[in-house]
């Protein structure tokens, strides 16, 4: 395989275009890079025209589920003037391996703010919120700094750019619970309650924040909107595929020579992305990877050429999710990686439903035993049985996500689990693995 073959699809830096520029986060730098040029254009359009443009672009939610963004905006009912509409940006990024929204907010917070103003105008909201992880204080400060700059420049507040449109934007710090990234738990938390998922339907578009029509969108989805408005739908559709158009941020991590965020068209392959990232670290081979964070079924080296879009990854038996490509090489014990993820899900389970609350606990117990080389082969089937009782039977997607690495690791690496039992311990020398260092 030549380098040219590895890099057949070019990178398309749009969101990340000037992340390395000096003081990239300031209003001055944003304006110097065509910032806030989409906003006056949007404000001259009717709100429904803005929604139609985003619908036509085919932009799909970048938070994991890939739901069409314009369609979600179009769900907001317009027939009850007594109920305000809200826009809530889900900036609670916490899926293991996912590291795109936080760099985006640190590097170019105004991209997100311009997208928020356009989206809020389109859905006729006068209040918008950014729900951000409270632990990442530098990001919180940077967002607030940018919001203050935007108010001072007349992009937020009363009569934005003389259009007659008013919008207030609040940056809200969450308290660091993975479940608060689930959109309805996030809304509960924003309302001041303990964050636990609500029953859907009704979806937030009908009854969200304070039981009013609410759009909840991911940071990257909203930040993509100004470029679409500025450059047009046809431009956006020159990238990606018919059903998964556009550019997106892939997070490469693990045993990769140059980990980081790579912005490319949907449909690029991991083989191509590794071509840009310098491949796996010297002297080692790719063993397994996650296409969309640890909630998505694992892939192996045989999936290097799967197109990384919603259809391609789905057809190959996984999900594109958050596009968090965690790559593990031949020194990694798969049982140990799966145990680590499962401990995370057990810890973060909110406890509302029995399959997830009890199931994740028992998965950890069994995995701890297996990884230490104790237990029996029957435990492997027990793992699958518990995963089956969680998957599709839990109240929210956290349960399904916890079952994914169990089922897929047993599909591809059952022999490695059995080796633990035969050898009475982990066949991998932990000292050689850098993953857990
Ligand atoms: P979902 O498919 O149930 O919903 C996606 C979005 O579409 C939601 O905003 C929902 O309100 C909306 N929607 C769906 N059907 C609708 C309808 N009929 N009417 C109105 N609105 C509708 O997915 P969910 O449970 O919201 O998210 C799961 C995804 O989250 C997973 O795929 C996972 O990849 C991702 N995830 C992301 C994390 C992160 O850190 N970014 C963390 C954990 C999971
Ligand atoms: Fe809570 Fe887990 Fe049930 Fe989701 S699946 S509601 S996180 S217990």
Q: Is 98 in the pocket of ligand 1 (CB under 6 A)?
A: yes
How many angstroms separate the alpha carbon of residue 197 from the centre of ligand 1?
12
Q: Is 397 in the pocket of ligand 1 (CB under 6 A)?
A: yes
Pocket residue to mutate for ligand 1, from 64, 213, 217, 392, most atoms within 8 A of Cβ: 64
Structure confidence by residue, pLDDT tens digits, 171-222: 999 998 999 999 999 999 999 999 999 999 999 999 999 999 999 999 999 9
How many angstroms separate the alpha carbon of residue 292 from the centre of ligand 1?
14
426 close to 373: Cβ distance less than 8 angstroms: yes
For ligand 1, atom 21: residue with the closest CA: 203
Mean pLDDT of the chain: 95
Structure confidence by residue, pLDDT tens digits, 223-264: 999 999 999 999 999 999 999 999 999 999 999 999 999 999
Residue 280 is given by DSSP the state B
Q: Give pLDDT, residue 434.
A: 45
How many angstroms separate the alpha carbon of residue 354 from the centre of ligand 2?
8
Q: Is 225 in the pocket of ligand 2 (CB under 6 A)?
A: no
Q: What ranges in 297-353 are assigned the alpha helix state H?
A: 310-315, 334-348
Q: Which of 344, 349, 382, 366 is nearest to 420 (CA)?
A: 366
How far is residue 412's CA from residue 300's CA, in Å, rounded to a whole number? 8
Strands 247-254 and 260-265: antiparallel
How far is residue 329's CA from residue 80's CA, in Å, rounded to a whole number? 55
For ligand 1, atom 38: residue with the closest CA: 95
Q: For residue 223, how many other CB atoms are within 10 A of its CB?
A: 28
Strands 214-218 and 86-91: parallel
The answer on pLDDT for 436 being more than 60 is no
- Index of the ligand 2 atom closest to the CA of residue 179: 7
Task: Tell me what the mean pLDDT of segment 276-294 comes to.
Answer: 97
How far is residue 373's CA from residue 384's CA, in Å, rounded to a whole number? 18
How many angstroms separate the alpha carbon of residue 65 from the centre of ligand 1?
5
For ligand 2, atom 4: residue with the closest CA: 396
Q: Give pLDDT, residue 7.
A: 72
- CA quadruple 243, 248, 253, 255: dihedral positive or negative? positive
Q: Which ligand is nearest to the CA of 77?
A: 1
Pocket residue to mutate for ligand 1, from 71, 397, 401, most atoms within 8 A of Cβ: 397
* DSSP helix/strand/coil, 247: strand
Q: Is 275 in the pocket of ligand 2 (CB under 6 A)?
A: no
For ligand 1, atom 1: residue with the closest CA: 65
For ligand 2, atom 3: residue with the closest CA: 353
Burial environment of residue 157 by CB neighbours within 10 A (0 to 12, 13 to 18, 19 or more): middle
Q: Which of 230, 235, 261 is nearest to 248 (CA)?
A: 261
Q: Is 93 in the pocket of ligand 1 (CB under 6 A)?
A: yes
112 close to 145: Cβ distance less than 8 angstroms: no
How many angstroms separate the alpha carbon of residue 197 from the centre of ligand 2?
7
- CA quadruple 300, 303, 308, 311: dihedral positive or negative? negative
Structure confidence by residue, pLDDT tens digits, 292-330: 999 999 999 999 999 999 999 999 999 999 999 999 999
The answer on pLDDT for 94 being more than 70 is yes
Q: Is 21 in the pocket of ligand 1 (CB under 6 A)?
A: no
Buried b (16+ CB within 10 A) or exposed e, 275-296: bbbebbbeeeebbbbbbbbbbb
How far is residue 309's CA from residue 248's CA, in Å, rounded to a whole number? 10
Pocket residue to mutate for ligand 2, from 357, 400, 403, most atoms within 8 A of Cβ: 357
How far is residue 348's CA from residue 267's CA, in Å, rounded to a whole number? 32
For ligand 1, atom 11: residue with the closest CA: 203
Q: Which of 38, 37, 32, 28 is nearest to 17 (CA)?
A: 32
User: What DSSP string describes 65-134?
Assistant: T--BHHHHHHTS--S-TTS--EEEEEE---STT--SHHHHHHH-HHHHHHHHHHHHHHTT-SEEEEEE-T
> Strand runs (DSSP E) across 266-355, as ranges?
286-290, 299-300, 324-329
When pLDDT is cut at 50, 70 and 90, the band that residue 80 belongs to is confident
The answer on pLDDT for 138 being more than 80 is yes
Of all residues in the chain, what percent carry a pLDDT higher than 90? 94
Q: What ranges in 33-74 are assigned the alpha helix state H?
A: 38-44, 47-57, 69-74
When pLDDT is cut at 50, 70 and 90, the band that residue 6 belongs to is low
Q: Is 167 in the pocket of ligand 1 (CB under 6 A)?
A: no
Q: Is 353 in the pocket of ligand 2 (CB under 6 A)?
A: yes
- pTM to 2 decimal places: 0.96
How many angstroms separate the alpha carbon of residue 167 from the centre of ligand 1?
26
Task: Tell me what the mean pLDDT of segment 54-66 comes to.
Answer: 98
How many angstroms separate the alpha carbon of residue 128 from the centre of ligand 1?
19
Residue 11 is given by DSSP the state P
Radius of gyration of the chain (CA): 22
Q: Is 101 in the pocket of ligand 1 (CB under 6 A)?
A: no
Q: Give pLDDT, residue 87.
A: 98
């Amino acid at each position: 395989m030549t380098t040219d073959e590895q890099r057949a699809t070019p990178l398309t830096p749009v969101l990340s275009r000037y992340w390395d520029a000096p003081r990239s986060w300031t209003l001055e730098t944003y304006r110097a890079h065509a910032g806030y040029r989409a906003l006056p254009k949007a404000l001259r359009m009717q709100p429904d025209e803005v929604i139609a443009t985003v619908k036509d672009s085919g932009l799909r939610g970048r938070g994991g589920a890939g739901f069409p963004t314009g369609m979600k905006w179009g769900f907001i009912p317009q027939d009850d003037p007594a109920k305000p509409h809200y826009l809530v940006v889900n900036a609670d990024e916490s899926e293991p391996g996912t590291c795109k929204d936080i760099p985006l907010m640190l590097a170019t917070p105004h991209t997100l703010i311009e997208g928020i103003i356009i989206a809020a105008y389109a859905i006729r909201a006068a209040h918008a919120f950014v729900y951000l992880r409270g632990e990442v204080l530098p990001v919180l400060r940077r967002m607030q700094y940018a919001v203050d700059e935007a108010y001072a420049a007349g992009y937020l507040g009363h009569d934005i750019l003389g259009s007659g449109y008013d919008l207030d934007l609040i940056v809200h710090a969450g308290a660091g619970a993975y479940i608060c990234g689930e959109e309805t738990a996030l809304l509960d938390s924003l309302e001041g309650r303990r964050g636990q998922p609500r029953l859907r339907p009704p979806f937030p578009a009908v009854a969200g924040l304070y039981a009013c029509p609410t759009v909840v969108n991911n940071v990257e989805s909203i930040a993509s909107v100004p470029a679409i408005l500025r450059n047009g739908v046809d431009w956006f559709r020159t990238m990606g595929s018919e059903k998964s158009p556009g550019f997106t941020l892939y997070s490469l991590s693990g045993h990769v020579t140059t980990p980081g965020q790579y912005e490319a068209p949907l449909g690029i392959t991991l083989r191509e992305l590794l071509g840009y990232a310098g491949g796996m670290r010297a002297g080692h081979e790719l063993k397994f990877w996650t296409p969309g964070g640890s909630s998505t079924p694992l892939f192996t080296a045989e999936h290097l050429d799967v197109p990384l879009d919603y259809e391609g990854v789905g057809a190959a038996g996984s999900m594109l999710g958050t596009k968090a490509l965690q790559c593990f090489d031949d020194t990694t014990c798969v049982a140990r990686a799966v145990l680590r993820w499962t401990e995370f899900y057990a810890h973060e389970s909110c406890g509302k439903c029995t399959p997830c609350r009890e199931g994740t606990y028992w998965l950890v117990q069994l995995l701890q035993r297996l990884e230490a080389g104790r237990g029996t082969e029957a435990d492997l089937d027990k793992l699958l049985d518990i995963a089956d009782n969680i998957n599709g039977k839990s109240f929210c997607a956290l349960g399904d996500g916890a079952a994914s690495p169990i089922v897929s690791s047993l599909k591809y690496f059952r022999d490695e689990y059995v080796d633990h039992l035969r050898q009475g311990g982990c066949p991998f020398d932990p000292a050689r693995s850098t993953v857990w260092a």
